[in-house]
Amino acid sequence: MKSVEVKHVPILKDDIVQALVEPFARVSSDSPACWLVDCTFGGGGHTDAFLQAFDSSPALRRHRILALDQDAEAVARGRSRFHSAIELGRLEILQGNFGDAAQLVEQRSVLGLLADLGFSSDQLEDPDRGLSFHRDGPLDMRLNPDQGRSCLELLQQISEFDLERILRELGEERFSKRIAAFLMESRRRGELPTTTKALVDLIVRATPKHARHGKIHVATRTFQALRIAVNRELEVLDQLLQDVLPKVLPSGRIAVISFHSLEDRRVKNQFKNKELFHPLTKKPIEAGLAELEVNPRARSAKLRIAERLPK
């Protein structure tokens, strides 16, 4: 495993901890201990905050945390960082996609669940993953390098029609046709980009000159679209919201942090299901100025919290 310093700063930590831990305080002392599931462990910031919150009260200390992550390196780092809590039986860290939570949770009594749909800073800043255009690296983009196609493999195999659709629908990229056409032409010439920098250079060339200097980098939407497609993020989110949650969370609370409108819209619509959920946030919670100064990546985060209605 590579040695990567943990740099991740958990987003909207205080709001999440307050919302998800509160139901555990209402569990009677003669009832079995309950579990809080962190479906997207990442750098472990939220899990650490949950452990501290459970430590703050004797009534909470008996409850347990299950952390999941499909990234083997994140799991290994977490098991090293939290080895004491794991040895005490207070925490388990398992490798798996949160869409697989129904199998991983098994017979545990779950009372709270967090899904942070963003990438951790450790993942974004690792050039070998190719997740960010700010660092040059291979065009991979997979959270789990042992599963699925890399971004490069996708670009080698996809049709121009499907690529344009991905850029338009998943990235909301207004120059999707031009970028897809440039990519397909580069493939025909045997010059398909194999690194993040080469892909950025192509996107810049494909973008009209008048649109190259907006509020966000011209490569932002294309990289977003390709990351979503490579990791099947929307399909897995739908699986979590529609299939996994009703099974693993019979009562309690769920918090979901999304980072773009495609995700937030799905969460909002699912929380409107009055048979399953009671939304606790009419509008999504967003980071305040103080948090943004410390963690600028929180600027696009939207947090929605809902109460799971008992059957």
**Tens digits of residue pLDDT in 43-86:** 899 999 999 999 999 989 999 999 999 888 889 999 999 999 99
| 105 lies in some domain | yes
Q: CA-based diameter of the chain, in Å?
A: 70
Q: Mean per-residue pLDDT for 186-194?
A: 96
- CA geometry: angle at 258 spanning 253 and 263, to 5°? 105
Q: What is the C-alpha to C-alpha distance for residues 45 and 98, in angstroms, rounded to an integer?
A: 17
Q: pLDDT at residue 5 above 60?
A: no
Task: Write out the residue range of the structural domain in which residue 250 sits.
Answer: 13-122+233-308
Which of the pair, 236 or 106, is modelled with greater confidence? Answer: 236
- The tally of domains found in the chain comes to 2
pLDDT value at residue 122: 63
Q: pLDDT at residue 195 above 70?
A: yes
**Which of 203, 231, 259 is the endpoint of a domain?**
231
Conformation bin of residue 184: beta by default, left when phi > 0, alpha when psi is -120 to 50: alpha
Q: Is the pTM of this model over 0.75?
A: yes
Taking 3-state DSSP, the helix, strand and coil percentages for the chain, each rounded to the nearest 5, stand at 50, 15, 40
Q: How far is CA 109 from CA 21, 32, 33, 172, 248, in A?
A: 14, 8, 8, 40, 8
- CA geometry: angle at 223 spanning 236 and 139, to 5°? 95
Beta pairing class for 252-258 and 64-69: unpaired
| 81 lies in some domain | yes
Strand partners, 302: 258
Which of the pair, 19 or 236, is modelled with greater confidence? Answer: 19
Q: How far is CA 186 from CA 21, 180, 197, in A?
A: 52, 10, 15
Q: Which two tokens stand for residue 223?
A: 């990289």
How confident is the prediction for the chain on average, in pLDDT?
90
Q: pLDDT at residue 31 above 70?
A: yes
CATH number, position 114: 3.40.50.150
Q: Convert the pLDDT of each residue in 270-294 to its tens digit.
A: 999 999 999 999 899 999 999 888 8
Q: pLDDT at residue 173 above 50?
A: yes
**Which of 214, 231, 248 is the endpoint of a domain?**
231
pLDDT value at residue 2: 46
Q: Measured between alpha carbons, how far apart are the two ends of the chain, in Å?
A: 44
pLDDT value at residue 127: 65
Helix (H), strand (E) counts: the chain: 15, 7
| 3 lies in some domain | no
Instruction: Please tell me the least confidently modeled range out of 90-94, 117-121, 165-169.
Output: 117-121
